[in-house]
Structure 1
């Protein structure tokens, strides 16, 4: 029998029998109601003895939807994004990552292209759960993907799925219970003090200044290239505010930081004197000490620094530990701090690491006696 529709989209009620509507009040069959639920799907409920009870139920459902617009919005998002494939969702998510530096964006594109899209590009977003994610991690392990790449790919997948989880696509976090890849960085190759002295004196004055900043204050390569005399905020403090980006070859925000963020690092007297001496000898431009040798309007390029390092190694005039890279100068800073009992939390902050876990994994071997020392201290306390 033709249903009767209520106003304002509340739904309809009817009887599934041969009696005309004029006879419904006397007919023994129960009423059926039809409405759209919070997800927009057409739904029916039956068993209402009277017309009033059927209408009351429709009114109750209508009020609940009106009083819970978030629930309706969630349902609409589920319809829109749940059926969207991962590739389309990831591109939409990526468009919102406006704070990413060019080098970070290039790294993201590489992870998507080589790892995430081959595994998930056509998969519907609504079908992700912890089993799907865990299978992805195990597949990377089975295929021999490097641990650093595994960790980075998992991190990006996690960011995308958590974004979908916040939209309400999943009743539970799809990463709960998944063991992430365990990235264990290679042991840092660190020069001795004598080796460092030879390295610092092997290049020209520009290289020597950069070596001082990296080994004395823990600056990254690009941060040292952006050294600015105005960033000496105290005799013993240097404020790191920017870096020379390897991709754009221009000044950019610090790694893991937003525009305007900074970190303060120790400035040993030796490093400060080297900085001031260089400024007195060569002058500055807007406070910057290092400029492009062929165009002073541009920052000092990173490949010039790498070329100088390669020439020093090829010359063989100074002792350099096997496997040491230019980054070993920065490792020396961390080693110097930790060997003098400076807390690793402070070292992590000065190094600009995103997490103290990174600092611990790289430099844990520099603290071999920490557990034994702790046992001795605890024993003294227990004996007191």
Structure 2
């Protein structure tokens, strides 16, 4: 059980209009980025969200470097592929088929316009031998938060995030259609409106790689993320254990944590531990859903499931703007949330996920890798507690585990 010194909860707000939130002892040390990693999005203005992508500063391959492409339906060989994990690596790690999801549309919600999004996506998919996904063939569509192709919003610096999201859903589900919805600005209202728009336009899965610290105003935003029949994934965050983020804390979403993924000589061929930046936490403002039964958190606990998110074991991403044109390696739970959305689409059963309850069922456990080992907080904060340590069964940083084939999906 966590001690009172580890968590302090503001019980009764003096003014419901004023955000009042929990504080934790974890502080900035919990999910501090490594020296070779930087946040794509800086500190947001009050009332705004930030993206959770983290870019490796020591892994950049300029755009002029030529790369041999894979052939359609067959990913590029490791010798021809850029540094960082590609689709074949991730399908191997999570025992996923390459085919499936042709009738699914994955929406990516981000803020601001990435003017080269479609062209950059084409380079990524060609390099790895994935089928073309373009506006011309009906696979790719980009709209503003009102659902129109123009005018698109101004660039707000989320281009790396958008490239990461598009590449990750492509890696997970090469045959899925992709809808990119660009909010005017990274406010809770604009991003929430974009989620509603994505659903209206036919999205079967919606991925959201952003967030803001929960507060007394959090419950009012929940309606944007409640769409029965549509699976909504949300990044847990990248600051380790502490106050959870919204929209990850809503009970109608699948909150996606993060792991560090490495090759090994096991039967699986891979191992995972909790990534130290993967956010987890116990909500002070959202009630605990009936399907979540962990003992030490009286509210909604983050996260539900997870996938690779450590920038130092991250995926390759291609883009031609934002000061680093070419191949880069990007991580954060901004990578795991769209990947899990892609896995759900690959299985083709989004209506199973009006929330994350299905992942907690006993029948789902064989379809998930239980991640054991690693932590997202100093031992002085919570010792061996599951809220910040990857233990047998459920834990905060990795949830119920990572995909092990499609049976849990």
TM-score tier after normalising by the smaller chain length: under 0.3
Structure that is richer in helix per residue? 1
Larger radius of gyration: 1
TM-score normalised by structure 2 residue count: 0.20
